[in-house]
Amino acid sequence: MLLEVQDLHVEFTSRDGLVNAVNGVSYAVDAGQTLAVLGESGSGKSVTAQAIMGILDSPPGRISKGKILFRGEDLLTMGREARRRIRGEKMAMIFQDALSSLNPVLPVGYQLGEMFRVHRGASRKESKAAAIELMERVRIPAARERVGDYPHQFSGGMRQRIMIAMALALEPDLIIADEPTTALDVTVQAQVMDLLSELQQEYRMGLILITHDLGVVADAADVIAVMYAGKIVEHAPVDALYKRPAHPYTKGLLESIPRLDRKGQDLYAIKGLPPNLARIPPGCSFHPRCPIARDRCAVDVPPLYEVAPDRSSACHYWKETIGD
């Protein structure tokens, strides 16, 4: 296994007290595989990714429990220098907002070349050539002329390609993409997702795709982990999950999005709001919003029940949910 997250807990200290952003998340990604982590704002999907990359703001954040194994080695017990070498070289991250992730006062070619200068000790001339090659690989037209341009001179789609190029520079084994296309228009989103999955195939990289968009997940993922209030509530192969969701939250999400290919009646709306992470409801954290919740749900924390050999659901009544 390329990456394995085991029972990860992350907490933040805040004015409201201790906020449990991640409460025992486990997932795994293999080379060449795409894992989609689906969740709404505050579900802990990005915090988990930050913990994997080692870029968690701490303090106030703190990993209180758990392991993150990269090729069997625990990143959390590793020395600083060893960890730094893995980051960038073996795993890289693509952020949502390319404009604020790129340095506005440095040419993009310089920023791309930095990867080679810092990690590979390349000369300025070599790194510039490598930057041009990377820009060509992510299909930026006239790369040779544009290597000296600044981030603001590129369109949103092109900036996101430069981010992809930067992540790919050292041919990492794992890419974490946090909402990589959320800020983009649909036609550009299609271009960028296409490019990303093509390059992933080419290099046989593992990809963790963090998103809230059920459409993007359906298109790109092999396996999905659905997160709610800092926990994985359902984990399944993509086809199975869309066909027969085994958790009421997943089911509600799927029913609440309008369809492009037909006009529906009223949308199903999950009642209520996502919980405040400083005061997560006892028992199943989804029970106040759940249409099938019973007394037991307010008391017993549901474990991840095995639904099928490769899928699980954290609902006491998953049989009922999957059945109809």
Q: In the range 272-311, which residues lie near other proteins by CB under 8 A?
A: 273-274
Stretch in the footprint of other proteins (CB under 8 A) among 46-54, 90-98, 103-111, 207-215:
207-215
Stretch in the footprint of other proteins (CB under 8 A) among 65-73, 85-93, 235-243, 304-312:
235-243
CB-nearer residue toward other proteins: 33 or 127: 33
Select the residue interacting with other proteins from 59, 79, 80, 186 (CB under 8 A): 186
Q: Which of 151, 3, 160, 21 is nearest to 72 (CA)?
A: 3
Residue 213 in contact with other proteins, rule: CB under 8 A: yes
Residue 16 in contact with other proteins, rule: CB under 8 A: no
228 and 39 Cβ atoms separated by less than 8 Å: yes
Residue 243 in contact with other proteins, rule: CB under 8 A: yes
Residue 263 in contact with other proteins, rule: CB under 8 A: yes
Q: In the range 62-101, which residues lie near other proteins by CB under 8 A?
A: none
Stretch in the footprint of other proteins (CB under 8 A) among 23-31, 60-68, 234-242, 308-316:
234-242
Give the relative orientation of helices 80-89 and 108-120 as an angle to the nearest 10 degrees: 130
List the beta strands (DSSP E) in 71-135: 73-74, 91-94
What is the residue whose two structure tokens read 């070289």? Answer: 89
Q: In the range 115-154, which residues lie near other proteins by CB under 8 A?
A: 141
List the beta strands (DSSP E) in the chain: 3-14, 17-29, 34-38, 61-70, 73-74, 91-94, 174-178, 206-211, 223-228, 231-237, 305-308, 311-313
Strands 311-313 vs 206-211: parallel, antiparallel or unpaired: unpaired
The structure tokens listed for 5 are: 């997250």
Stretch in the footprint of other proteins (CB under 8 A) among 107-115, 124-132, 269-277, 311-319:
269-277
245 and 234 Cβ atoms separated by less than 8 Å: yes
Contacts to other proteins by CB under 8 A: 40-41, 141, 155-158, 185-191, 193-194, 212-221, 238-239, 242-243, 252-254, 256-264, 266-271, 273-274
